[in-house]
Structure 1
Amino acid sequence: MNPPIRDVSCRRGFLRTSAGALPALLCGQTMAFPPERTSLTRGPAEAAHAEIWRRFVTADHGTLLHYAGLNGEVVLPTPEDCRAARPNGMSWSTPIEDGPFFGGLYLAALCQRWQVLKTPEAAKSARRIAEGLVKLAKVSETPGFVARGLASDGRSHYPASSEDQFFPWLYGLWHFVTSNLPTETERLEVQALIKKHVRAVEEHQWRVPCDPPAFGFRGDFLRPKATDASRLLFIHRIMHTLTGQERWRLRYRELAQEKVGKVPRSRLEWCAAGLALDPPEVRESFLWTSSMSQAALRTLWKTEEDPQWKKAYAEGLSATARAAVPHLARRNHYRRDDRSPFDIDWRFLNQHWITQGNCDAAIQLARTQLPKWAEHNPRSQWEDDCMREPLFAAWMISLSADSDVMEATRSRVAELLSTYEWHGLYTSLFFIAVAVHYQTELHHLEITP
């Protein structure tokens, strides 16, 4: 489907306010929407999908790149780069830094797309991304480690993963195995892979290991925050479904009621409060990394049977959606005639490279390189601000199941998706436009009598 991506051989960016005079959430109330309510966004979403496959899906193994040239050019790290941890052991600022993150969220969207379209192409696209995620989880012998991406040999990888890679990987493959897309053999294979890696992370006290393990750990799921609470509860909820083991359900109930934090609240209370999103002008919280917690919370809301817990999850979804609304306006900074430079050759960062003995050293080095990346590539930071963040805000709204918020922002979201020229963007995060549309369309189909 996609042409080979050329190797010309040669981070993270910006971000709680109320949404203003949005109608109050009425628990359990839904509204019927005619089909035309989503028709304005399908075209832009499908155009984004086509552009992702034209330039950002690797031909050899079906993983997503973070960025590429406008004709699909990419400078893939070599096996030697990975062994030396150049430019850093996190792989930050390389095109392969976010394979499980992007691929996992995209796969979930593609499963929803297939659920709506039921076409051979929709099935093929989803299966191909699932194959890539499986490969990322099998290139290492370290249980619990999911590689961020693959070097030019299709096997080598950087030593660090993270909780922000592991969770979307899990989220995407969960959507895949609970769909009708995989064969029974494939379903059992993916389920076994999920169980293996989740159990390993559990054994590490919910920390994500590096490869090799001696390099340390990057991230965990235990922080007293709404972001971590929803992810940890999601993992336990789906593991009970996949394994049938009662211990996962019991532990889910225990963890939800366990009080954590300096001002202790139960994880259920953390979830009900929603995510703490700064207003757009602060730019110190990240919608793109927080969004996966909203996705986790939606799954908890859909699968929960206790009416009080379900109500708490709905409150959190709505609160986060309302906090995300102001970020839609960040698209106003987008200009189709912007010509700020983006250099796909990341190797200029190697002049700032030093040896890293563990993950902590790798993180420290990678953080010192971020300002240098932003200075050299001002368009990268600009796309993050005016494309990435508003699109992820739209997705967080679509996940909320709050019909009042969704209706209040419907025209703004449609305008948002029609704003961009996908073929002129260097970073691939507009893949989330596919999720915005199909999550919304399925929501409308579910609540229409």
Structure 2
Amino acid sequence: MNRRAFIASTLAVSVYRPLVAADAATAAEQAHSEIWRRFIDKYGIMIDFADMDGKVSLPTPEECREGKPNALGWWAPIENGAMFNGFYMDAAVLRWKRTKSADDAAKARKLMEGLLILNSISDVKGFVGRGVSTDGKSHYPMGSNDQTLPWFLGLWRYWESGIATDEEKQRITKHLVETTEEIMRLGWKMPAEAPFGTRGSFEGFHFEETSRKLFVMKMLYAVTGDAKWQTMYLAELDARGGEKNESKRELCIGGMKFFYARTHNWTSCGGVSALRGLWELETDAALKADYAKGLVASAKLAAESLPLAQQWDNADTSYFEMNWRVMNAEWKPQTTEKESQELAQQQLKNFRKLAPRRGKETAFIREPSAAAWNVMLCPDADVLKQFAPEIKKLIAHFDYTKLYYSQFFWVEAAWERLLLLKAQ
């Protein structure tokens, strides 16, 4: 190593060391502060990315209508509002239960109102949007199953938290029921605007679809008291299909599975959090025990992704391109989901070359952060204690003030659940 390289590496280590030494509690509080300083828009919806001052140029109403950069909204700053709000509600509610502060209750309420906005912006019944433009209403025409399950989950978490007023519970219940009934009418597919029709489904014999559909049924029984949802739920448990002709109960026991990439904890949070909801709601001891088995299996698989966090270097200066509109150079009109996905994938391929920082944050921050939450959703204290040290190390590792993406937010809920474990 030459002198210049030695000096550079020494400086990098000196910059990096203090955050590693920070305790997880301090780091978790920093994560919370950064989320609310930079990533929650004025409508109470989490955006995907912003600069260090919280600034980002949102898609205009015209760009949303034209489907720029693509009609899915992929890679735009309002790509994942329903998903992120819904998942983040777990952290918000747990934090309020710990602090009982009016400020924390107000934050949870703001997230809830953001979720309701996303279900109120379209003339298409049951539509759950990804985010909103500068006018608070314009949006991309397609949501997804990955957006809609967290939407259900977040509203339920708020509904049962102790924060919700009676009026809020009534409003939330109305949205939950009307949206579910429309999804059911469409064969458990998610409504989308013309010309796309639908996008994504809760129907199928994979863990992801299975736990999501069962959760919606069980949750609606708890929220409404209407026995029809319980009847549907019990019948659904025995349904069989898929390559191994497994029942949906058996699929839940098997837990999370990766299938479209080597790991994808960040999207699999939907299935795991739905299974956690089922475990909390279930009163039948044998069925509850089966859900616990699935959560243990999911936690052990998720834990394999925790070491990814240590590949993140807080001193990294890779370029991040804030101007997502560079992708519009490849834009063309789209009339089908397939056309939109093909366009989006081509845009990402080229954008990654221009903005290498993006791939690093998604690989080494988003994925292990989501994995930490997936682990902490497990109800088995012995399993949690096994992985708690590594999760604390992960939380303490990141300098959240230097991250462009909001996709570290899972660490907050992981931390709150670590505190619950400590209190046991």
Same fold, TM-score > 0.5, yes or no: yes
Identify the residue that residue 41 of structure 1 maps to in structure 2.
24
Counterpart CA distance in 2 for 1:331 and 1:108 is: 22
Structure 1 unaligned regions, length at least 5 = 1-38
The answer as to whether partners of 1:277 and 1:324 remain within 8 angstroms in 2 is: no
1:136-175, aligned counterparts within 5 Å? 136-175=118-157
Deviation of the 1:283 alpha carbon? 4.8
Distance 2:173 2:154 in 1: 12
In structure 2, the partner of 1:115 is 97
Which protein, 1 or 2, shows the higher relative CO under an 8 Å CA cutoff with sep ≥ 6?
A: 1
Percent identity of equivalent pairs? 34
Partners of 1:98 and 1:153 lie apart in 2 by 18
Map 1:198-347 → 2, pairs under 5 A: 198-212=180-194, 214-277=195-258, 283-347=261-325
The aligned residue for residue 378 of structure 2 is: 400
State the one-letter code of the partner of 1:143. K
Tell me the residue number matched to 1:390. 368
Which moved further from structure 2: 156-165 or 175-184? 175-184
Q: Distance in 2 between matches of 1:108 and 1:406?
A: 17
Q: Is residue 65 of structure 2 the alignment partner of residue 65 of structure 1?
A: no
Q: Is the 8 A contact 1:45 1:417 kept in 2?
A: yes
**What corresponds to 1:16 in structure 2?**
none
Aligned ranges 1:432-447 → 2 under 5 Å: 432-445=410-423
The structure with the largest helix share of the pair is: 2
Q: Distance in 1 between matches of 2:334 and 2:261?
A: 30
* Structure 1 match to 2:409: 431
What amino acid does structure 2 have at the position aligned with 1:341?
Answer: Y
Q: 1:127 is matched with which residue?
A: 109
Counterparts of 2:335 and 2:209, CA distance in 1: 28
Distance 1:274 1:62 in 2: 32
C-alpha distance in 2 between matches for 1:368 and 1:232: 32
Amino acid at match of 2:44: G
1:409 counterpart SS class = helix
SS of alignment partner, residue 233 of structure 2:
helix
C-alpha displacement at 1:125, in angstroms?
Answer: 0.8
Q: Runs of at least 4 residues of structure 1 off by over 6 A?
A: none
Q: Secondary structure at the match of 2:200?
A: strand
- The equivalent of 1:7 in structure 2 is none
Shift of 1:373: 2.1
Task: Give, in whole Å, the separation in 1 of the partners of 2:213 and 2:47.
Answer: 27
Q: One-letter code of the match for 1:404?
A: D
Conservation of the 8 A alpha-carbon contact between 2:279 and 2:292: yes
Out of 73, 82, 90, the residue aligned to residue 72 of structure 2 is 90
The residue aligned with 1:417 is: 395
Query: Are the equivalent residues in 2 in contact too, given 1:108–1:173 (CA < 8 A)?
Result: no
State the Cα deviation string for residues 414-439 of structure 1 (Å, max 9, x = none).
11100000010000011111110112
Asked if the contact 1:144/1:197 (under 8 Å) is kept, the reply is: yes
- 1:324 counterpart SS class: helix
- Residue 284 of structure 1 and its aligned partner are, at CA, apart by 2.9
8 Å contact from structure 1 (residues 69, 426) kept in 2: yes
Q: Is the Cα–Cα contact under 8 Å of residues 401 and 443 in structure 1 kept in the other structure?
A: no
Alignment match, 1:190: 172
Which letter does structure 2 place at the counterpart of 1:197? T
Which residue is equivalent to 2:161? 179
The letter for the 2-side match of 1:327 is S
Letter in 2 for 1:293: G
- Matched residue SS, 1:95: coil
Question: Is 1:56 aligned to residue 39 of structure 2?
Answer: yes
Equivalenced residue count is 403
Between stretches 149-158 and 283-292, larger displacement belongs to: 283-292
Q: Name the CA distance, whole Å, in 2 between partners of 1:444 and 1:301.
A: 21
Shifted more, 231-240 versus 305-314: the winner is 305-314
The question of whether the paired residues in 1 share the 8 Å contact of 2:44 and 2:110 is answered with: yes
Give me the whole-angstrom Cα distance separating, in 2, the residues matched to 1:199 and 1:364: 31
Once the two structures are superposed, residues 221-264 of structure 1 have per-residue CA deviations (whole angstroms, 9 ceiling, x without a partner) of 11211111111100000111122221110110111111120220
Out of 66, 72, 81, which is 2:63 matched to?
81
Structure 2 stretches of 5 or more lacking a match? 1-21
What residue number does 1:9 align with? Answer: none
* Displacement of 1:168: 0.3
SS, match of residue 208 in structure 1: strand
Cα distance, 1:290–1:135 mapped onto 2, change above 3 Å: same
- TM (norm. structure 2) is 0.92
Equivalent AA in structure 2 for residue 376 of structure 1: L
Alignment partner, residue 326 of structure 2: 348
3-state DSSP of counterpart to 2:408: helix
- 1:218 is paired with a residue whose SS is strand
Cα distance per residue 1:61-92 (max 9 Å; x no partner): 11110011111120110111011111100000
- Once residues 402 and 242 of structure 1 are traced to their aligned partners in structure 2, the CA distance between those partners, rounded to angstroms, is 26
8 A Cα contact 2:50 2:56, kept in partner: yes
Separation in structure 2 between the aligned mates of residue 221 and residue 244 of structure 1, nearest angstrom? 22
Measure the CA separation in 2 of the matches of 1:388 and 1:63.
18
Contact 2:310 2:397 (8 Å CA) reproduced: no
1: distance between equivalents of 2:155 and 2:243?
34
What is the CA-CA distance between 1:374 and the residue it aligns to?
Answer: 1.5
Across the aligned residues of Structure 1 and Structure 2, the Cα RMSD in angstroms comes to 1.5
For the residues of structure 2 that align with 1:171 and 1:440, how far apart are their CA atoms?
A: 20
Shift of 1:443: 4.4
Question: C-alpha displacement at 1:334, in angstroms?
Answer: 0.7
Aligned residue number for residue 11 of structure 2: none
Q: TM-score, normalised by structure 1?
A: 0.87
Return the alpha-carbon distance in structure 2 between the equivalents of residues 202 and 243 of structure 1.
17
Distance 2:261 2:191 in 1: 29
Give the corresponding residue for 2:9.
Answer: none
Give the letter aligned to residue 58 of structure 1.
Answer: D
Contact 2:61–2:138 at 8 Å: present in 1 too? yes
- Larger mean Cα displacement after TM superposition, 187-196 or 40-49: 40-49
